[in-house]
Structure 1
Amino acid sequence: MKLKSIIFSVFVAVFMMSCNENKKDKMSENQTKKEVTAKDILGNPEYLAISYGGYREKQREVQPTIPELKEDMKILSAMGIKVLRTYNVHFAQAENLLKAITELKNEDAEFQMYVMLGIWIDCENAFDFSKGEPNHNAESERNAVEVNTAVELANQFPDIVKILAVGNEAMVKWATSYYVEPWIILKWVNHLQDLKTSGELSKDLWITSSDDFSSWGGGDPMYHTEDLQKIANAVDYISMHTYPYHQSHYNSDFWKVPENEEHLSKKEKVDAAMLRALDFAQRQYDSVSNYMKSIGVNKPIHIGETGWASVSNGHYGKNGSRATDEYKQGLYHQHMREWTNKANISCFYFEAFDEQWKDAQNPLGSENHFGLINLKSEAKYPIWNLVDEGVFDGLNRDGKPITKTYNGNLEALMKDVLVPNTNYPKD
């Protein structure tokens, strides 16, 4: 009896130790999930990033529903995406997106999706000429509402919102309808940093402004201002945009087929051009990095936006630079992911799905066609391989399974691929 009692006691002790270890593991696992911060996410290739809107219709007043947002989140998660970038909190989309992610997390404890929440900033009279010309040295009254709403959402969803971005291309001078002078961005960045200091926002929440590479000092010296230096010192990291796609028209030296490549086949010329596009993006990144070093700022630099459109009836189509097609889009996506993942740079690729509101009056306008998945629920060439791998099996968007454009026929796609062109009038 004594031996049985000893054996039973040992069994109970082992069982209790095992239970305690399991509890510790679960606590550790839950703790790890709760403690994921921007610092853990940014620059980590395990947290692929993408820009996301989710709008289906030709006007943003028609908001994506929570079921539609959840549908998209499942698709993006299947693609390996774990970080989204949004652009404003004007509409219900941002809050509903956070609710959709919360529901998915409640349904599946393993589900992960984090958000870089965009705060739209613009100037007085932006987009409203009835009130007069845009006043770039004064700000819209709406800005304060945007900031306060974003703060509320960050506090309401701290497990999801990891970054706040003050403005989207809000300082670059070519944004003539709405850009603001840097002091306005600085004002709101400092405000958010003060809220972190006072404990009204999480100290782990990172603050940035997402803007064109030139606005971060990588281009025209006119941006090399004292206020820009103050912004660079105030943000937690630099979020810069680079678009070789647009520069194929506006700054096309890199896009021209050099004489020593004239003998190559069409495909070889295109392949070489897309390597030059990658090099162009890398040089813009380096230009920002070099400027930051020159002013004594040593902070992470990530790519807040870059992408390549698959359709254009404008500057980038047949009688323009001919940058536009799914094959080039696929190469650019591949090159950017490979480079940034290897270099530990986060790249918020633009964008997840086509959105037709952006150029609603021109269905073939390039702005409507930057998505990796079109409005027919077809995966474009950059992610045909994911369809082949079955990552979308069982998933639908708007009642349709994810299939391939061109029915997956590369030969048919290549008929729409044209050699880069720079010999045309530019206005």
Structure 2
Amino acid sequence: MKYTKELQIEPGRAICYSGFREGQMPGGKVPTYEEIKEDLLILHKHWKYLRLYDCDVHAEIVLDVIQKENFDFKVMLGAYIVAEANNYGCPWGGTYSEKQLEKNKISNDTQINKLIHLANQYPDIIFSLSAGNEACVDWTDHYVPVDNVIKYVRMIKNGAKQPVTFCENYLPWLDKLKELVEEVDFISIHTYPVWEYKLIHEALEYTKENYYAVADTYPNKPVVITEAGWTTFSNGKGICPSNVSEEHQQIYYNDLVDWCEENDILTFVFEAFDEPWKGSGEALEPEKHWGLFKVDRTPKLVMREYFSNQLVEK
């Protein structure tokens, strides 16, 4: 597949990693060096590529651990850009004061410059850079106009040598992001059949439809999947509880990985570990349960054939 040649990377399994445990969250308490080392010891035998979302303290520690412990990971590092315009269509709130939006623009500039700094600090670890995450889709609460995203992509390209992308739901790439396609080195899409009311037996075919809709529209641009996964619990809001379980996750993961490896499609599975800080305060909130491992780092069904408590190095 063209992405391996054009991006000069080797085939390998990829996963989204965020190490926040009980009582930890972005902007608050972060995982320690030893906690992140423990996570990477779990992941390093099975995955080659990690995706990090933000240039925060968590990301700095992850990169430090990889370097000092000599882990063989390659990282896609993202800048998490926040709202620069109001999105009145967001169902969970996407409106801000003009003063806040101006502050956000300053914050985003800082975030992009931090991304460039880390890219140059860790050139042998960071293999690609993302100018943002789900900031242009219709339902986002951190909406950034496409022209502004293009500005950030150009800033990154001027300051760092790694290939640059933007991570977004598959749908905006088909129309809204056409001008952005010309700027990025490769396209990064997200595909979540379970959020679009697909049953498990429909899931892989729907992911294929999402992928090829974008790939066929831009045949000269590599397309990477930067998020695809299946949650294991739901409170019934947006996802039917009967459509999620560890058994469903196992089926989708195995089907997804087999298809991607057969077709040489770099795909970051969402995600490594459950994150209790996400979403609502309800225990069955689906956002908390996408991990292939529980928050206590024990493997869910999909990973039990590869991992056990005894197999995890401490």
**1:71-101 CA deviation, whole Å, 9 max, x = no partner?**
11110012x2111101111x31011110010
Corresponding residue for residue 345 of structure 1 = 265
**Judging changes above 3 Å, is the alpha-carbon distance between structure 1 residues 139 and 37 closer, same or farther for their aligned structure 2 residues?**
farther
User: What CA deviation, in whole Å up to 9, does each residue of 1:4-24 have, x standing for no partner?
Assistant: xxxxxxxxxxxxxxxxxxxxx
Normalising by structure 2, we get a TM-score of 0.89
For 1:54-73, what aligned pairs fall within 5 Å after superposition?
54-58=19-23, 59-60=25-26, 61-73=28-40
Q: Which amino acid aligns with 1:215?
A: P
Identity %: 32
Q: 2:51: which partner in 1?
A: 85
Task: Tell me how far apart the structure 2 counterparts of residues 156 and 133 of structure 1 sit (CA, whole Å).
Answer: 33
Instruction: Render the CA deviation track for 1:105-124: whole Å, top value 9, x for unaligned.
Output: 1xxxxx30111001011223
User: Aligned partners of 2:251 and 2:230: how far apart in 1?
Assistant: 10
Structure 2 CA distance, aligned partners of 1:284 and 1:321? 24
For normalisation by structure 1, the TM-score amounts to: 0.66
Aligned equivalent of 1:300: 222
1:363 CA drift (Å): 2.0
CA distance in 2, matches of 1:301, 1:138: 33
What amino acid is the match of 1:150? L
Instruction: State which of 163, 168, 174 in structure 1 corresponds to 2:139.
Output: 174
What is the distance in 1 between the residues matched to 2:133 and 2:83?
Answer: 12
Q: In structure 2, give the amino acid aligned to 1:279.
A: E
Query: Within the alignment, does 1:39 sit opposite 2:39 as a pair?
Result: no
Alignment match, 2:209: 283
Q: Deviations over 1:134-178 (max 9, x none)?
A: 86x996321101000111111111111111101101110111x21
Q: What CA distance in whole angstroms lies between the structure 2 residues aligned with 1:370 and 1:351?
A: 6
- Equivalent residue for 1:187? 151
The total of aligned residue pairs comes to 303
Query: Is the 1:316–1:324 contact (alpha carbons within 8 Å) kept by the matching residues of 2?
Result: no
Does 1:333 pair with 2:253?
A: yes
Q: 1:52 aligns to what?
A: 17
Please say if 1:247 is aligned against 2:196. yes
Cα deviation for residue 183 of structure 1 reads 0.7
For 2:136 and 2:68, how far apart are their aligned partners in 1? 36
The one-character-per-residue Cα deviations of 1:243-292 (angstroms, maximum 9, x if unpaired) are 001011xxxxxx3xxxxxxxxxxxxxxxxx43411000100111112222
1:150-229 alignment, distance < 5 Å: 150-175=115-140, 177-195=141-159, 201-202=160-161, 205-217=162-174, 224-225=175-176, 228-229=177-178
CA-to-partner distance for each residue in 1:203-249, whole Å, 9 max, x for gaps? xx1100000001111xxxxxx25xx223101111110000001011x
Q: Which residue type is aligned with residue 132 of structure 2?
A: G
- Deviation for aligned residue 1:128: 8.5
Give the gaps of 5 or more residues in structure 2.
87-92
2:290 is aligned with 1:359: no
Q: 1:393 aligns with which of 307, 311, 314?
A: 311
Q: SS of 2:261's equivalent?
A: helix
SS in 1 for 2:218: helix
| Aligned pairs (5 A) from 1:255-266 | 255=198
Structure 2 partner of 1:104:
69
Match of residue 59 from structure 2: 94
Q: Which residue of 1 aligns with 2:43?
A: 76
Contact kept in structure 1, 2:128 and 2:165, CA below 8 Å: yes
CA 99–164 in structure 1, closer or farther in 2 if over 3 Å, else same: same
Look up the SS of the partner of 2:31 in the other structure. Answer: coil
Structure 1 runs not aligned, ≥5 long: 1-35, 106-110, 196-200, 218-223, 249-254, 256-272, 397-427
- Runs of 4+ that moved beyond 4 A: 125-130, 132-135
Q: Does the CA contact (< 8 Å) of 1:125 and 1:133 recur in 2?
A: no
Higher helix content, 1 or 2? 1
- 1:14: which partner in 2? none
Give the direction of change, closer, same or farther, for the CA distance of 1:193–1:130 in structure 2 (3 Å limit): closer
Amino acid at match of 2:231: A
User: Relative to structure 1, is the Cα distance of residues 122 and 94 closer, same or farther in structure 2, using a 3 angstrom cutoff?
Assistant: same
